[in-house]
Structure 1
Amino acid sequence: MKKQIFFLLLLFSTAIFAQKRVETSIDTTKNKIGAEFKLTLKTSVDTLSKVVFPNLKSLGALEVIQSYPIDTVKNNDRYELIKKYGLTQFDSGRYVIPAVKIVINNKPYLSDSIAVEVANVPVDTLKQKMYDIKDIQPATYSIGNWWKYLLGFLLIHIIAAGVYFFLKHKQKKKIEEEVYKTPIEKATSLLNNLEKKELWQKGAIKEYYSELTDIARNYIEEAIEIPAMESTTSELIAGLRAASVKKKMTVTAETIENLERVLKQADLVKFAKSKPLEYEITEDKNKIQKAILTLDSSIPVEIPEEEDVLLNEVQRQKQIALQLKKKRNNRIVISVASVLFLLLATTFYLMATRGFDYVKDNLIGHPSKELLEGEWVKSEYGNPAVQIETPKVLVRTDLTKSLPKEGMALIKEMQSFVYGSLIDDFYLMVSTLKYKQEGQIDLKKSMDGSLQAMESQGAQNMIVKQEDYETKEGITGLKAYGTFSRVSPITNDQQRMYYEVLMFSQEGGLQQILILHQEGDKYANEISERVLSSVELKNEGR
């Protein structure tokens, strides 16, 4: 059986060992929670060598509670250097002390990794003083994730307010276009609205005169068609006089002079900080209103000719078509905005109630989730056969090429089936071995070899827990599970991986199921539970 265990270690191991320069030992491999393990590293060098032992705070999952001084023993022309570390762990289980790097003459050397066990301290409840059960205590109020709900509520209302004001602005603009059919109607309505604001009564005289003159300028520009908004007062009056002659307007000089006085008064208020009296402000408003009405009545009404009527009809049809197109575009914009609003509102609601990960996994997607929800396959693999249910069909792979000849000499039959690879975020392997020489297989030693092989392939800081395992058919085996860290080959970042290994000894052979995935992947956890619960083995005793 020793040869068989040796072969199992070679099956998964790919590490190449350097010349032995560091001796590794530990005072005990089994200890209680909180007790100290003493790890000893020993090396022998000549008197001119420089040796550097690392300053460690932790070794894998074990905490370094004491770093002892280096002991030096002279042996003829050589020095024997001894370094000890005091380690401890406050959780029961099986742990692996990883290799430690010692630098000798600027060349690194690695110590051996050692597996240790930490056991619970038994408590004698018979000698302990007993106490009554405490009364039910009221639960303290926890605010929990209230900020997520508040954030989702505010975002939904902000989006709703944005959509509301957008639609209201569109509606207001449409009503304005329909109500103000002529420039005089628009000017009259704006003058009435200006008086309702009571700006000058509140001390905002400058703002009042600015709006008052803008109403007059805008009317002149739309009705008489001269650039009133961009012109100075002098340019506007000159242009108005020229337009009245050209258009044969029956406007009096007094009307233009009154308009000029109000515009100059407004210039003094806006630029010279002049403050007219109340009666002057009222008179200026009346002058503007009268000037606008007089100008409007003085514009001659032209009777359109037949060609003009046809041209106006064509323009009217074009305008109707343009309005229909605008309405159609508005409906499209409103529909798209409504869909976006509902989508965003639903997204934020789900984020607030179920979390960001739920939204990301369901909208963007998650590889493990897709595996879990896909169509599963139930099949038998290897000999002795392992019947198992998996998310995908396992692919046969040949591991015999990586084995030494002396290892292959012990093997009668070997079959391996995998999904993914060891560098993926999810990996599943089913492997079976049959030996030429029949005998009882030590599952614990086989498991140790498998775990050491995982270390040789890049697993670091490995935490190991072991327990007996029994299938639904009553076949017993050994289960190991825990976590380890590795360097991602894609991002070069440290990843924390979770693993589970099942081993069974059946019909003179070894059956192994191995699952690896990222720690904290809830979908991968569900896959692992479903796969392992589906394992069925042929009972050799039946």
Structure 2
Amino acid sequence: MQKITTFFLVLLASITWAQQPEVTTQIDSTQIKIGSEFHLTVKVKGPSNTQVSFPELKNIGQLEVLENYPTDTLLNEAQIEFIKKYALTQFDSGAYQIPSFPILINDKQILTDSGFVLVNTVEVDTLKQKLFDIKTVSTVNETSNTWIYLVVVLLVIALGVLGYFLWKNKKPKAVKPEEMVFASPIERATTLLSILETKNLLVKGEIKEYYSELTDITKSYIEETIQIPAKESTTSELIAGLKIAAKQKKLPVKPETFQALEAILKNADLVKFAKSKPLDFEIIEDRKKIENVIVSIDDSLPEEIIEEVKPEELKRQAELKRLALQKKKRIKIGAAIASVVVIVAVLYFGDFNLFGSSAKSMLKKEWISSEYGNPGVKIYTPDVLIRQDNEELFPKDVIALLQEMQVFSSGSYFDDVNFFVATFKYKQPQQIDLDIALESGMQMLEAQGAQDIIVKTADFETPEGVKGRKAVGTVVMLDPITKRSKKMYYDFVAFSQDGGLQLILMMHKEGDEAAQQVTERALNSIELKKAVQNNE
């Protein structure tokens, strides 16, 4: 019985072991040339219910991941196979380990196998390769596609403007009161009163606006027919002037008309200036009374004052207004397109930076030589760097070792080239490893949100022969304003003098040739000063 039990346990263990997913790792080449691409393939084979999650990686050890390929799945009867491929490369020669990394299989982390790859430099055989004299400088006919991009931009803008106006003109437009042509002043006044009712100002609670339009219509009518300055007059001045004009022109205006008009205007003054709120029936009564007042005044006017406009004249006036409006519209469109063309041309071809200093304008400026920090760094820059309070960027244990720290940077975040100078003076003599200092600087950038940092270090020497270390490369930064990633090129230089540390960092957008010239000019101007001892 014991033998049978043992047999079944061994059989069960073998079955369980057979059902465990199998993980294999392989590379298509163990030796590559510097910068060449090779592939790492990870395969997971297991039962059909196996679930696998591969990580999306940017780097595997010191190897850069060029591409994370999609996961392939092969289903064969009761088994399933997952295949994940990574494209890798390295831009420095040497032997590199491909470290293990975890993949998630059925909610459990399983490590892949590790490996090695040898990155070889490209050898140049000068014995087999023929050598030629240096060619003379030849003239190259530069061809630029810049004008094509500009034409495309302008075409898109023009089509957008045209589409907007076609859409706008297709919509049925309500005729504005100022665009209407009326046969007589009374027609104008009564029509505008009707339009006022359609605005539903009372329903919206805009009583002040309602009374303002009501009195404006009335005063405009009085100015047009009686020829007195009604709009510029107060209520008492208007009533007095109206009575005098009616007497002089012998208009049979009834006293009740003057009284009604004065009462409505005073009520409107209370609404506009004293924030009075009449009742709904009072507002309706004022509306009826004001129309009666206008009709009463119009009935009192002699026939010769009322000049009826002929239909032909109405059409002519309407056509003149329409042509005037079209002319204004064309002027506005032309001015808008001209403005866009000028702005695009200035931004694209000019040395213009909307918010900061452009690299081209920096090259044309008269540069300033200033000394910063202790130990001092003397450097030429387009503008004087401004002292910054950046102690929060450094760990407290580092600050505790410092006797003095000074940080300076360029004045505007929007400048095409940003400068950063920092000097550190320690309380006790320190043996400073410049490579470690540069690495710490890169870690500070990473703490500020930098990603995909590519670093290449080399020796650096000032024109006076002072030696230091330099790191160059690219980094991806998140723009805090646009929230978009942008690739930046940096030059980071470190010096150590008298136990102190001097750091110079310059950053600009990758591919900006003018910005690169600004950086090179600043780097070639660096001079170092000895540390000044403070007697405390």
- TM class by shorter chain equals 0.3 to 0.5
Comparing both chains, which one has the higher relative contact order based on Cα–Cα distances under 8 Å and sequence gaps of 6 or more?
Answer: 1
- Please report the TM-score for the alignment, with normalisation by the length of structure 1: 0.42
> Computing the radius of gyration over CA atoms, which structure comes out larger, 1 or 2?
1
- Please report the TM-score for the alignment, with normalisation by the length of structure 2: 0.42
